[in-house]
Amino acid sequence: MTDLEAALRTVVQGEVSFDVTSRALTTMDASNYRRVPLGVVAPHDADDVAAVLEVCRDHMVPVVARGGGTSIAGQATGAGVVLDFTRHMNRIVSLDPEARTAVVQPGLVLDRLQDAAAPHGLRFGPDPSTHSRCTLGGMIGNNSCGSHSVAWGTTADSVRELDVITARGERLRLGEEWAGAPRGLRELVEGELARLRTGFPELPRRISGYALDALLPEKGADVARSFCGSEGTLGILTEATVGLVEAPRARALAVLAYVDESAAAEAAAGLLPYGPLTVEGMAADLVPSTAALPRGGAWLFVETGGESQGEARARAEAIVRAADVVDALVVTDAAGQRALWRIREDASGTATRMPDGSEAWPGWEDCAVPPQRLGAYLRDFRALLTAHGLRGTPYGHFGDGCIHVRIDFDLLTEAGIGRFRRFSEELAEVVVAHGGSLSGEHGDGQARAELLPKMYGEAMVRLFERAKGVWDPDDLLNPGMLVRPAPLDANLRFAVLPREPVDVAFGYPADGGDFSAAVRRCVGVAKCRTTSVSGPSVMCPSFRATGEEEHSTRGRARLLHEMLAGELVTDGWRSTEVRDALDLCLSCKGCRSDCPVEVDMATYKAEFLHHHYEGRRRPAAHYSMGRLPQWLRVVARTRTASLVNALAAVRPLARAAKRLGGIAPEREIPRVATRTFSRWWEGRRAEAGSGGGLGGGDALADGVRERGELVVLWPDTFTEHLSPSVGEAAVRVLEAAGLRVALPPTVRLKRVPVGDGERGGGRTAVAMDPLSLLRGRSRVCCGLTYVSTGQLDRARAVLRRTLDLMEPVLETAAPVVVLEPSCAAALRSDLPELLHDDPRARRLADRVLTFAETLERHAPDWTPPRVDRAAVGQTHCHQHAVLGDGADRRLRQAALLSGELSGGCCGLAGNFGFEKGHFEVSLACAEEQLLPSVRGAQEGAVVLADGFSCRTQLEQLAGVRGRHLAEVLAEASGEALEGASGDGEGVADESGR
């Protein structure tokens, strides 16, 4: 322990963390920059802040204040002690609806303030796109704005008083008329009145530099306002009194389509006289092809408000009539507006990938010019991009003349970094020529502070330095920001990453096969740090359960970044810090769809576990649950399901088995079906005297195509051994829809030496381990349990064997129907990414359909039975992330199953919720959405749960039986499921467990 750490631990009530993980999590924000701190302190209160400042002053160690870590210019990183306000100093102290004010702590997330103000018809005006995770302290530090700034201004416009502690320990309450000003500030300003009156451009989004002009007497000498946008360089905020505004009772959103972004930019300023709440611009490159937008190449999102829905709509329609547009759309329903705003809010992430998939970066994220100059500025901006051979798609706050853009800078090579510098210097001159500000929202930080002399001149910058000296004479607060700045091309976070591709198992096709590029995807916008689920989204359940950065997608990506860098995390793939952070990753794949840059932490986790345990003993759960398909096949072949179930019912034996298998003691071991789905299938075929199908290793049976379109039903491990009733129901429904159902081929395994299958070559199915010596039919498997536990060599062998078995199917046009969403997702995504060298993998992945997709595409004329009941439950996280649930929604609607399924994750997530040490997090995830939705369901509602994990979680935590959609439709169509098997072996219950 260093002297600094020991001294801090003596005087600080909150957490003092100098460990590798805590430091690694705060090396970066959402910018291009990286600085390694000495340690992180989560202060408990203002006294803790004062104590930290005193200790750091004694040791001459810098201090950096950090909120949500979403700053885009590097100002939330530092080489000294980082103060994390999100852990403890995150409360609303008071809210006064009459005065329309709130007193808040700096770590309070903006959405929490909005939630508290909403019942009073109030809201905080500024709302950055990161509103679900950015903090009020960070917003004050950067003078954040957001889409509603045309109506309610910047954060500085909403600040009333600020409680601040200076680096030398002076506690100040800043307000108007010099209230709380540090000694010497008034004298400094009064000696420079002429310069302050003439040296600042007049525009709504001037954020760059210190707002010293707010201290002019004609502006009320507002010290609190002048502190806004100082990026933690003048003092540390401990409490703020902020103003609230009246929220419109109703809103409408007019989406105006233009030919291109220049036309949209030219039109934006002309809409301001109509009093809109927003005038946001986006170009087509940033909009998903599936977005329901009017035809055009660029759009303005213009929101209007009113006392009633009719008034809000009328104002929106008046704007449409006044605008010269290609096309337009007015949306009044709340869900439709949320969906459109989500596109805009995700742009800060989606913009990091160009249309061809190449990387793009911040750096010139938010220049602002007078709104009337925006069109001309954009033309000059585009010309400069072309001159430097760069690309970028502008978007942002067109009504305020503020443009966001990510540019495809090459920040990995010396030549590329040189171009980055030259472009930055030239663009600064273009912005100034248009009367603009280098920063229009996110602050200068390291990205732009070096260029402030181009905007303000050397004399004004020296005045900024003198002001900094008044507040912080020792230069301890966030040094290198705003004044005496670090070079804009220093401390780049990419410089520490390996230059050669890392040897990995997955193909990472979207990242050119480069694991470093995959990890670089995380730019830090931190959508994974939201504390509540919005709509159908999933990401990131472990963060919401723990509130810890290391259990967010961003936190894990940061640790992987540092693992590759090798400076802080020095033991590479063997890192215990990375292992521990990934331990609570549910592999829900929610980040794959909900993260704006599509970080796929489930894949990264599997990759890490593969390398981490290579040549070493694995956790017991990897053997017991990671190899679940093998154990269940043994039970099926030996016909010992009844014995296994009986033994599992003996509590001492169950406890011993769970302890031996690394299974959480709170869990019950699921019952194994006494008759597998395949055995039911074979018995049914025998009774019918039909040879139709692909089973038994035979070639395509004669006459299959003559009796209906062929579909191949995948007998996944869960349907096969644990829930055969799902497979039985699916067969009946598919056949009722006029489809001919077959199962994949099987072949006899041979006695071969253990391990040969690891090489995965050849056309013959090869045994992988001694269990195959029991002899039996080799069946297809998606490899899910092997992938989720990082047993990627085994997964490859299983998948190559599966491809061998599926070759007869691939020679037909038959779709492959997969009932278990997690298995379908594994086949769609993991299979082609893991076997990227085998073209059969992509062919099979492209054949995979869900149950609902199969009916929609291959039985379009079939009408499902009328269930006519309410439905509750949760969309499977893998279905949401990889497969999509559009077909399921339409099928439920056609069957008159009313109601929306919740988002989030059930928390069981395959092996995760069964592993020892995961029960509490698993329970917390279930309690977030799934269990409340079931408890609050109306009587007679159908509980839908297509995934075995979801059904098991419902059964074990709520005593509720969830059902697959196939079971519900089969029951409604009058196809009663068999209550017992036909071979004399009774089943445990309707679900087959």
Burial of 848 (0-12, 13-18, 19+ CB in 10 A): buried
Average pLDDT over residues 265-281: 96
How much is the pLDDT for 577? 98
CA distance 829 to 806: 17
**Count of residues making up the chain:** 993
Which range, of 8-17, 334-343, 432-441, 610-619, averages the lowest pLDDT?
Answer: 334-343
pLDDT at 747: 66
Residue 689 banded pLDDT, cuts 50, 70, 90: confident
Task: Kindly report which listed range (216-225, 559-568, 754-763, 927-936) carries the lowest average pLDDT score.
Answer: 754-763
Euclidean distance between CA atoms 962 and 944, whole angstroms: 5
Task: Supply 351's token pair.
Answer: 């913009």
pLDDT of residue 882: 97
pLDDT at 929 over 70: yes
* Across 371-385, 696-710, 729-743, 899-913, least confident range: 696-710
pLDDT at 690: 54
Strand-strand pairing, 395-397 and 402-404: antiparallel
Q: What's the pLDDT at 887? A: 97
Locate 549 and state its tokens.
């950065």
Each residue's pLDDT tens digit, 649-686: 999 999 999 999 999 999 999 999 999 999 999 999 88
User: Tell me, what's the pLDDT at 984?
Assistant: 29
238 Cα distance to chain centroid: 29
Over residues 281-297, mean pLDDT: 83
- Residue 986's pLDDT is 27
Checking if the pLDDT of 907 tops 70, the result is yes
634-647 per-position pLDDT tens digit: 999 999 999 999 99
Does residue 979 carry a pLDDT above 60? no
Which pLDDT score is estimated for 290?
A: 66
Cβ–Cβ contacts within 10 Å for residue 358, how many? Answer: 12
CA distance 150 to 159: 17
Q: 847 Cβ partners below 8 Å, 6+ apart?
A: 809, 810, 814, 815, 816
User: How would residue 538 be classed by pLDDT, with cut points 50, 70 and 90?
Assistant: very high
Rounded-to-integer distance, Cα 668 and Cα 686, Å: 36
Give residue 223's identity as a one-letter amino acid code: V
pLDDT (average), residues 509-522: 94
pTM above 0.75, yes or no: yes
d(CA 527, CA 950): 25
Judge whether residue 751 has pLDDT over 70: no
pLDDT over threshold 90, residue 362: no
- What's the confidence (pLDDT) of residue 760? 38
Q: How far apart (Å, rounded) are the C-alpha atoms in residues 618 and 835? A: 23
Determine which helix (DSSP H) or strand (DSSP E) holds 954, and give its type and residue range. Answer: helix 948-958
What pLDDT, on a 0 to 100 scale, did the predictor assign at position 132?
94
Question: Mean pLDDT for the chain?
Answer: 91
β-pairing verdict for 816-818 and 848-849: parallel
What number is the average pLDDT over the span 261-283? 94
What is the band of 700 on the pLDDT scale with cuts at 50, 70, 90? Answer: very low
Is the pLDDT at 316 greater than 90? The verdict is yes
What is the average pLDDT across 162-166?
A: 98
- In this predicted structure, what is the pLDDT of residue 777? 63
Q: Order of strands, edge to edge, in the sheet holding 869-873?
A: 897-898, 869-873, 942-944
Residue range 931-946, pLDDT digits in tens: 999 999 999 999 999 9
Of the candidates 308, 328, 188, 191, the one whose C-alpha atom is nearest the C-alpha of residue 255 is 328
Which of these, 767, 724, 764, lies nearest to 743 by C-alpha position?
Answer: 724
Over the stretch 430-474, which tens digit does the pLDDT of each residue have? 999 999 999 999 999 999 999 999 999 999 999 999 999 999 999
967 pLDDT band, cuts 50/70/90, is very high
Q: Cα 76 from chain centroid?
A: 20
Percent of the chain residues past pLDDT 70, beyond the cut: 93
Contact 218, 153 (CB under 8 A): no
pLDDT at residue 348, as a whole number: 66
Which helix H or strand E contains 651, and what residues bound it?
A: helix 651-661
- With a cut of 50, say whether residue 775 has pLDDT above it: no
Peptide bond into 540 cis (omega under 30): yes
3-state secondary structure of 472: coil
Whether the pLDDT of residue 762 is over 90: the answer is: no
Res. 706: pLDDT tops 70: no
* pLDDT value, residue 356: 80
Nearest in space to 74 (alpha carbons), one of 37, 34, 39: 34
Number of CB atoms found within 10 A of residue 382's CB:
15
Q: Is the pLDDT of residue 516 over 90?
A: yes
pLDDT in tens, 372-418: 999 999 999 999 999 999 999 889 999 999 999 999 999 999 999 99
Q: Return the pLDDT at 702.
A: 35
Residue-by-residue DSSP string for 438-465: S-SSS--HHHHGGGHHHHH-HHHHHHHH
Mean pLDDT of 313-326: 95
Beta bridge partners of 710: 740
Look at residue 579 and tell me whether its pLDDT is greater than 50. Answer: yes
What average pLDDT score do residues 567-589 get?
98
CB 396 within 8 Å of CB 344: no
Token pair 């349907």: residue: 719
Q: Which of 28, 27, 5, 26 is nearest to 17 (CA)?
A: 5
In a 13 Å sphere around the CA of 909, the CA atoms on its Cβ side amount to: 32
- Whether the Cβ atoms of residue 107 and residue 86 lie closer than 8 Å to each other: yes
pLDDT tens-digit readout, 99-114: 999 999 999 999 999 9
Top pLDDT among 715 and 764 is at 715
In the predicted structure, residue 697 carries a pLDDT above the cut 70: no
